Each structure stands twice: as structure tokens, then as C-alpha cells.
Structure 1
């Protein structure tokens, strides 16, 4: 099962706000990564998602460490698994489901935008 992580990244020299969040999605030997301004919340507002260079798999593990190249500090704040396939093209639209961990819902990434939609709830009409 592929993994995800959300990192709180502070002190990045190119971040005028001083704090942002890196969303990492496991993709083979590395993680596809996007910079977000806020923690995504199911049913919350859509936000900008800036694609970043691939990140190392080690960031999928809970950790807090200095970022290489004197680029601030990162702290893992959410970790879990997701279901869905990443598109072959790095800039292709992403649609997946967070399965566990603190993030819940259906993630949509496309055209520089990110939205976390609430997962459908069971109707209770089962046997």
C-alpha cells in the first residue's frame, strides 16, 4: 500500500509566510511532493498546490529534522496509506483516497490546486 506524509516546513528561505506544508505521496523510489499553505481538511476550501522536486522516502516516516541545504526545519504531522494510482506524467491530475492516519477523504490535485473532499458515508441500507 503506498504511503503519504504531511510535513510542517518552517524557516524555508523562499517562503514569505515562514511556514507551509509539504504533501508527499509515495511513488516508487521517491515521493511526489506539493507545497500547501494550509493543512487540507475534508470539505474545506480548495487551495494552491505548488509542485516541488521529489522528496526522499525517509520523510514518509514520522520524524523531525533539518532540511538539507540550510532550507529550514520539517516535522512530520500526518502519516498513513492511500489508495489510487498516480498518473504517469508528474503534472497529471491526481485522484486518490486517504485510507488511514489523520487525513481523511478523497484528495484531488490538478492545475495547481488541491482539494480534500469528504469520503461518502455509508447509507446504512445493508443487510
Structure 2
């Protein structure tokens, strides 16, 4: 099964808040990635999800390290696997089932991310 990870990213020069969450979804030889303000909480409603360039799969492993290019520090805080099909189109809606540290239906649509548990 493909994997997911959430990273706490601090000190990014383009992040005025100083800390955000990177959501990574394994997709081939890299990870599709979105910037979130907080870790998705089940049934807590949607939050903005900003698409980012693909990230390396090494970030799916347990680690805490400096981000290349003096772009802060990242630490993996949640991980697991997902089922479902991640669309190839970066602007298509995403609906996946998460298993692992976070569980439930992850949905990314119209620039927002939510996690629901029936």
C-alpha cells in the first residue's frame, strides 16, 4: 500500500506563521504534497490545503532533519498507509482512506482538506 506522512515544518522562509504541516502522499518516485495549518482532526471540518512541489520519499521515513536550501526544519509526526487512487492530475479532487496514526476518509477538494470518520 502507498504511504502517507505528516511533517511539522518550522522556519520556512515563505511561511509567516513560522510553523505548518506538510501532508505527503506517496505517488510513484516522489510524494504529492500540500501545506496545511494544522494536523487534520477527524470530523473537525475542512482547512486550506496549498499544493506544494513534490517531496522526496525519504520524508516518509521516521526522521527529523534540516530542509535543503536553508528552508527550515522538518520532523515526521504522523505516518501510515492509504488506500484508494491518487489522481495523476494535480487539480483533481482526492479521496483516500487513511490507516495508521491518522484514520478515516481524507478528502482534498477545492483547495481544502478534511478528515472524516463515519
- Aligning the two structures, in what range does the TM-score lie when normalised by the shorter sequence? over 0.9
Runs of 4+ residues deviating >6 angstroms? none
Cα distance between partner residues in 2 of 1:103 and 1:50: 20
Aligned to 1:99, what secondary structure does the other structure show? strand
Aligned to 1:92: 92
Residue 43 of structure 1 corresponds to 43
Structure number with the higher strand fraction is 2
> How far apart are 1:111 and its partner, in Å?
1.4
TM-score, with normalisation over the residues of structure 1? 0.91
Structure 1, unmatched stretches of 5+, are 121-127
> Does 2:5 match 1:5?
yes
Aligned counterpart, 1:17: 17
Query: Any gaps of 5 or more consecutive residues in structure 2?
Result: none
How big is the shift at 1:104? 1.3
Provide Cα deviations, 1:9-53, integer angstroms capped at 9, x if missing partner.
000001010000000000000000000001101111210000000
Match for residue 108 of structure 1? Answer: 107
Cα displacement string for residues 57-84 of structure 1 (whole angstroms, at most 9, x for unaligned residues):
0000010000000000000000110101
Which of structures 1 and 2 has the bigger CA Rg? 1
